[in-house]
Every structure is written in C-alpha cells, then in structure tokens.
Structure 1
Amino acid sequence: MLFFFITIAAVLVLLLLEVPVGFAFGIGALLYGFLSGTDISFHAGFGYSQISAFSLLALPLFVLAGTLMGTAGISERLLNFVNAFVGRTKGGLGAVTVLTCAMFGAISGSASAAIAAIGKIMVPRMIKEGYPPGHATALVAVSSVLALMIPPSIPMIVFAIAIRESVAKAFLATMSPGIMLALVYCALNFIFLRKNKTITVQPKISTGAMIEEVSRTGKEASLAIIMPVIILGGIYSGIATPTEAGAVALVYTLVVGLFIYRGMNFKDLYSSTIDAARLTGAVMMVLFFLFIMSRGMILAQVPNQFADMLLSISDNKIVLLLLINLLLLIMGMIIDDVSGGVLAAIILLPVIQKIGVDPIHFAAIVGTNLGLGNVSPPCAPLLYMAGGVTKMELSEYIGPTMKFLLLGHLPMVLIVTFVPELSLFLPGLLD
C-alpha cells in the first residue's frame, strides 16, 4: 500500500506542476514498477491488449464525429430549433444553451466538443442580449458536463471496459441523471436571471407564427435531430455495437456536413481529423499507462487492501458512499473524466463490491461525480476551456459557476448515490 500512495502522490504532484496527463501517469507507472521491483515490460502486454479492445475503437470515432459537428453546421441548427421553443422568454437563451448541450451530448459524447461548438455561438449571443458575461460562460461550462452524461458518453465507454460491464448499460446509467440535471440547470438559470433588468427579449409572436418557426427550424435541423435516434436506436435494438454506432455517427456527420448542410469543406475535415487524432492519441497514452499501473496494483492486491482500509474506517454504507463521493470529486478536480473513470475502476471497484453496490449504479456515481469535478477548481479542465473559448478571466465566472454546482450538480450527485433506482431503471430494461 505504501508504494501505491507514493505513486499516486507523485502523479498528483506532476499534474499540479502541469505535466501532461499522459506523461504524469507514464512516470507513475515507471515509479510503481521501480518501487515494487516489477519489470514494467511484464505488464506492457496487458496495457496494449486493453487499449486494443474492439469496444475502445468507439472512442476515436465519436471524438472525430464530435469535432466535425462544430464546423458541419449541426450545432447551429440544433440551437435554432431549441430557440424556437424557449428563446422568446426572459432567460430563454440560457435554457437553449443547456438543452442544446444535452442534445449535442446525445450525438458526440464529448464535453469539450460541446463547449467549442455551443459556447462559441451562444455566449456572444447571450452577452449581446444583456446576459451577464460571467453567467453566460458559467452556463456553458456546467452544461457541457451533460455531454458526458447523455449517451453515447466517451468516459462511460472506457469505464465499462475497465470494470468489464456492458457499455450499453453504462450509457443508460447516467441518462436519467443527465436529463434531470439539464432541467435543474434550466430552472436555476431562470431563477438567477428573474430580477435582471439588462436582458432584452425577442418580441412575442402569435401561436401560428411560433408553430411556423418551430416547423421551419425543425425541418432545417431534422438531420441533426434524428442522428441520436439512429445511434442510440442502433445500439439498444441490438443492430449495432457502440463501436459500430460510432462509425455510423462519423459517416453520417461527414455526409451531412459535406454534402447536405455544406457547413464544412475538405480543409475543415483535415484540420478536424488532426485535432481528433491528437486528442485520441493523448487519451490512449493515458489509458495505456493506467492499465499498466492497474495490472501491477491488482497483482499486488492493492485495490483489496485499499477496500479493507476504507472498511476499517466505517462499516456504515452511507459513510462509505460519502467517502467514495469525496474521492471521486477530488479525482475529477485534478484529472480528466476518462482517466478518472479508469482510476476509479481500479481503486474503488473492490470497495463497492464489498458494500453491495451494483457496478452499473457505480458507473452512474462515477460519471456524475467526475463531471462535477471537471468544472470544480483547482484544475477544472472544462471550466478553464469555457473561459478560453469566451476569453474571460476566471474571476468573472467562478461565482456563477459555483452557484450552479452547489445548487444543481452537487444535490444530483447525492440523489444518484442514494437513490440507485434512478440509475438502474433504464439499464434494467436491457435484461
């Protein structure tokens, strides 16, 4: 156990020193091998076999599809469609942002893609209509997490592989919490803005004109709207695996973006492919070293020893679940959701098995917690990305962000943790 804590401490220090995540875990794997006296090449084959899994091929496919959507015109058409419903009410553009991030997640499974695609369009539009800039940026940051919770979710693909559970069930575990969180964020957005007098609202239109606008924008966005139906319908009908659905998503995006919407050209395709390849390569590097570390730790019985240590603190299931939530929140604050998911699977799976928590319920706990951590300081990769897209200082939007998290996301974490039926109902339909 001592070697485990030294290794984790070393990785955390490297991350806080802004060493790239892949290199930090690579050094951690080497350090653990050195301390434990194990030849790391002994575990390299296991790491390679894990990242070569067919299910993991879905990751680059969804990453590239999500990267292309921002330039394909898909996100803008989704925004216009949602705006036709709620855009003419005070705070309506904020609700449009939240709901479009949720819909975008049902297509791409990538929070960073949601920030890039939705944030660049909606934040300037909200500021132009009188929204406080900090509120607009915070709303994009916290709503981007919905793309990690609404299936298909890239972190859930990796997590399901790590715990050897059904990817389809892991997808569904975070779906109900994701939908509920989207509604909570919409409600909080309206509450926070109810006394704001700077917001300008588009003039009301007749019911007939609204129906016409919804029909027009719906027709324009129809190809984008039916995309998640095709992807998720293929997975849950048994026609396609998540990997095959990722391939369908990519081909569909290419056809729609290049030849129907014509929102991108071959130059955009090239640059997006390069960006997606870099991101995929970075994730695969992290996963490779994480799987190597996990192999060494499992053989040394570290996860079981860690489980026994937690169980020695308390045998109360509620206390242990709160401790697990705290650990997951800290993980999410420091590392990305994909890495955090694998690390959680390695360290915490034996604990949840011993206290009788369903692994699919654990998937929902992990997904919801890491999403909260990814927009919570100090590291908060999604929070800083939102500020980078909107070119704002953290001090301008940290206050509104914390209000959304404390009143919205944190209560949802507790609900997911202590009301397992919320996460298990939809996966249970697949049995």
Structure 2
Amino acid sequence: MLLFLLAMLIIVALILVEIPVAFAFGIGAMLFTFSSGNDISFLIPHGFKTASGFALLALPLFIFAGLLMAEGGISERLLNFVNALVGRIKGGLGAVTVLTCALFGAISGSSSAAIAAVGQIMIPRMVREGYPAGHATALVACSSVLALLIPPSIPMIIFSITGGLSVGAAFLSTIIPGILLTFIYCALNIWFLKDNPNIQVEPAVPFKTAAKQVAVSGYKALFALLMPLIILGAIYSGIATPTEAAAIAVIYAIPVGLLIYKGMTLRSLGSVTIRAVTMTGSIMAVLFFLFIMSRAMILEQIPKELAEALLQISENKYVILLMINVLLLLIGMIVDDISGSVLAAIIFLPVVNALGIDPIHFAAIVGVNLGLGNVSPPCAPMLYMAGGVSKLSLDKYLTPTLKFLCLGHLPMVMLVTFIPELSLFLPKLLLGY
C-alpha cells in the first residue's frame, strides 16, 4: 500500500509541474511495477491486450464522430433551436447555454469539446446581452460537465470497459442525474440574474410566430438532434453494440458535415481526422500505463487492503461512500475525466464490490463526482479551459462557479450517492438490470 501511495504522489507531482499526463502515469506505473517486484514482461502484454480490446474501439470512433459534428457546423444550429425554445425569458440565454451543452454532450461525449464549441459562441454573446462575464464563464464551465452524464459519454465507456461492466447500463445510470442537473443549472442561472437590470431580453412575439421559429430552427438542427437518437436507439434496441453504434455515428457524421450542413470541407475533414488520431493516441497512452498499473495493484492486493482500511474506519457503506466521494473529488481536481474514470475503476470499484454496493450505482457516482472535480479549484481543468475562452482572470469567475457548484452540483452528488434509484431506475426499466 505504501508503494502505491508513493507512486500516486509522484504522478500527482509530475502532473502539477505540467509533465504530460501520459508520461506522468507511465513513470508512476513503471516505478510501482519495479518497486513491487512484479515481472514487467508479464504486465506489458496485459496492457496491450486490454487496450486493443474490441469494446475499447468505441473510444476513437466516438471521439472522431464528435469532432466531425463539431466541425460540421452543428453548434450554431443547436443554439438557434434552443434559443427559439427558451430564449425569451430573463436569463433565458443562460438556459440556452446549459441546454446546448447538454445536447452537445449527447453528440460529442466530451466536456472539453462542449466548452470549445459552445463557449466560444455563447460567452461573448451573453456578455453582449448584459450578463456578467464571470457568470457567463462559470456557467459554461459547469454546464460542460453535463457531457459526462448525457450518453454517449466517453468517460463512462472507459469506466465500464476498465471495470468489466455493461456500457449500456452505465450510460443509462447517469441520464436522470444529468437531466436533473441540467434543470438545476437553468433554474440557478435565472435566480442569480433575476435582479440584474443589465440583462437584455428578446421582445415577446405572437405564439404562432414563436412556434414557427421553433419549427424552422428545429428543422435546421434536425440532423444534429437525430444523431444521439440513432446511437442510443441502436444500442438499446439490440441492433448494435456500443462500438458498432460509434462506427454508425462516424458514417452518419461525415455526410451530414460535408453535404447537409456544409460546415466541413475535404481539407477540414483531413485535419479533423488528424486531431482525432492525436487525441486518441494520447488517451491510449494513458490507458496503457493505467492497465499495467491496475494489474500490478491486483497482484499486490491493493484493492483488498484499501477495502479493509476503509472498513476499519466504519462498516457503514454510506460513510465509506462519503470518504470515496472525497477521494474522487480530489482525483477529478487533478486529472481529466478519462484518466479519472480509469483510476476510479481500478482503485475503488473492487472496494465497492466488496461492500456490496451496486457497480452501476457507483458508475453514476463516479460520473457526477468527476464532473464536480473537473470544475473545482485549485486544479479544475474544465474551469480553466472556460477561463481561457473568456480570457478572464480566475478571481472574476471563481465566486459564481462556487455558487453553481455548492447549490447545484454538490447536492446532486449527495442525491446520487444516497438515492440509488436515481441511477438504477433506467437500467432496470430498459435492460432488466
């Protein structure tokens, strides 16, 4: 256990001094492996075998599909559609941002993609219409993590594959928390701005005119809105596995971007392909080293020792879940959502299994908690990415971020932790889980 803790401290230190995450985990994994006396010639083939599994092929395909749809001009169409629905109330533009991030998450499965695609459009637009710049930045950062909860979620794919769980059940486990958190953020945004006299509101129009605008914008966004329905419909109808559904998404996204939305050219298709390959390569390097480290941990019985250590503190599973939530929050603060999902699976999943906690329930806890960590200071990778888009200093958007997190995201973590049916209802209903 001491060697494992030392390896994790080295990894954290390397990340904090801005060593690339893949190299940090590689160094930590190698140090732990050699220090524990394990045979690296046995562990490396295990890493290759796990990383080359068919199920994991869904990862590069979903990344590619999300980048294709983002490049193809989907963001503006989604924004226009949601704006036609809710844009004419005070604070409505903020609600448009939240809902669009959720919809974009259902297409890209990535928080960073949601910030890049939605934040670059909506932060300047909200500021022009009287929103405080710090509030706009915080809202985009907090809403971006909805992409972790609305399937297809790339971190949930990684967590499921690493933990040997059903990808479909893990997808379903975070839908209800994701929808609830979407509406909570919309309500908080409107409440925070209700007394702000600077907020501009679009003038009211007759019902028929509003309905026509919704219909027209919905028609223009139709192919974007159909993509998550096609993906999830294929998975839950049994037509396709998640990997096959990811391939369908790529085949669907290319003609939509090139021929229908015409936001993508053959040249940009090539650049998107290179970006997808680069992103996949960096993620796979992290996963490879984590798979090696996970097998070494199992050989050293680290999960068993951790479970015994937690049980010595308390035998109440909810007390232990609270402690695990704190650790997950710290992980989410330091590393990205994908690395955090792997660490949660290899470190904590054996512990919760030993305690009799449903692993699909725990998948939802991981998804919601890592989202909280990704926007929680001091590290907060998604928060700083949103700040990079708005070009504001941290002090300008820290306070509104903490308000959103403390009143919205943190209560959702507690609800998911203590009310298992929030995450298990849909897997039981649709999959007979």
Please give the range of the TM-score, normalised by the shorter of the 2 chains.
over 0.9
Mapping for residues 251-290 of structure 1, pairs under 5 Å: 251-290=251-290
Unpaired segments ≥5 residues, structure 2 = none
Q: Distance in 2 between matches of 1:249 and 1:393?
A: 38
Matched, 1:343 2:334: no
Matched, 1:228 2:232: no
Q: Deviations over 1:318-377 (max 9, x none)?
A: 211110100100010011111111111111122211222100001001111001001111
Work out whether residues 25 and 289 of structure 1, in 8 Å CA contact, stay in contact via their aligned partners in 2.
yes
1:222 deviates by: 1.0
Q: Distance in 2 between matches of 1:138 and 1:238?
A: 39
1:390 deviates by: 2.2
Work out whether residues 69 and 117 of structure 1, in 8 Å CA contact, stay in contact via their aligned partners in 2.
no
1:250 deviates by: 1.4
Work out whether residues 58 and 244 of structure 1, in 8 Å CA contact, stay in contact via their aligned partners in 2.
yes
Give the aligned partner of residue 292 of structure 1: 292
TM-score of the superposed pair, with normalisation by structure 2: 0.98
1:68 deviates by: 2.2
- AA paired with 2:394? L
Once the two structures are overlaid, the 10-residue window that deviates more, 243-252 or 140-149, is 243-252
Q: Secondary structure at the match of 1:6?
A: helix
1:282 deviates by: 0.9
1:6 deviates by: 1.1
TM-score of the superposed pair, with normalisation by structure 1: 0.98
Give the aligned partner of residue 366 of structure 1: 366
Matched, 1:166 2:166: yes
RMSD: 1.0
Q: Distance in 2 between matches of 1:92 and 1:111?
A: 22
1:98 deviates by: 0.4
Q: Secondary structure at the match of 1:255?
A: helix
Give the aligned partner of residue 3 of structure 1: 3
Work out whether residues 235 and 242 of structure 1, in 8 Å CA contact, stay in contact via their aligned partners in 2.
yes
Work out whether residues 369 and 413 of structure 1, in 8 Å CA contact, stay in contact via their aligned partners in 2.
yes
- AA paired with 1:93? L
Once the two structures are overlaid, the 10-residue window that deviates more, 52-61 or 283-292, is 52-61
- AA paired with 2:89? T
1:264 deviates by: 1.3
Work out whether residues 70 and 116 of structure 1, in 8 Å CA contact, stay in contact via their aligned partners in 2.
no
Q: Where has structure 1 moved over 6 Å in runs of 4 or more?
A: none
- AA paired with 1:262? K
Q: Distance in 2 between matches of 1:46 and 1:354?
A: 24
Give the aligned partner of residue 22 of structure 1: 22
1:124 deviates by: 1.1
Once the two structures are overlaid, the 10-residue window that deviates more, 190-199 or 246-255, is 246-255
Q: Deviations over 1:97-146 (max 9, x none)?
A: 10011111111111111111111111111111111111111111000000
Q: Deviations over 1:396-418 (max 9, x none)?
A: 11111111011000000000000
Q: Distance in 2 between matches of 1:99 and 1:249?
A: 21
Q: Deviations over 1:3-37 (max 9, x none)?
A: 11111111111111111110011001110122112
Q: Deviations over 1:250-274 (max 9, x none)?
A: 1211111100110111222122222
Mapping for residues 30-179 of structure 1, pairs under 5 Å: 30-179=30-179
Once the two structures are overlaid, the 10-residue window that deviates more, 270-279 or 174-183, is 270-279
- AA paired with 2:271? S
Give the aligned partner of residue 212 of structure 1: 212
> Between the two proteins, what is the percent identity of the paired residues?
64
- AA paired with 2:23? F
Q: Deviations over 1:207-242 (max 9, x none)?
A: 010011011111111111111111110110010111
Q: Deviations over 1:42-71 (max 9, x none)?
A: 201111111111111111111112122222
Q: Distance in 1 between matches of 2:142 and 2:44?
A: 37
Give the aligned partner of residue 12 of structure 1: 12
Work out whether residues 107 and 249 of structure 1, in 8 Å CA contact, stay in contact via their aligned partners in 2.
no
- AA paired with 1:14? L
Q: Distance in 1 between matches of 2:105 and 2:139?
A: 15
Q: Secondary structure at the match of 2:221?
A: helix
Q: Distance in 1 between matches of 2:236 and 2:330?
A: 33
Q: Secondary structure at the match of 1:145?
A: helix
Unpaired segments ≥5 residues, structure 1 = none
1:246 deviates by: 1.0
- Matched length: 431
Give the aligned partner of residue 423 of structure 1: 423
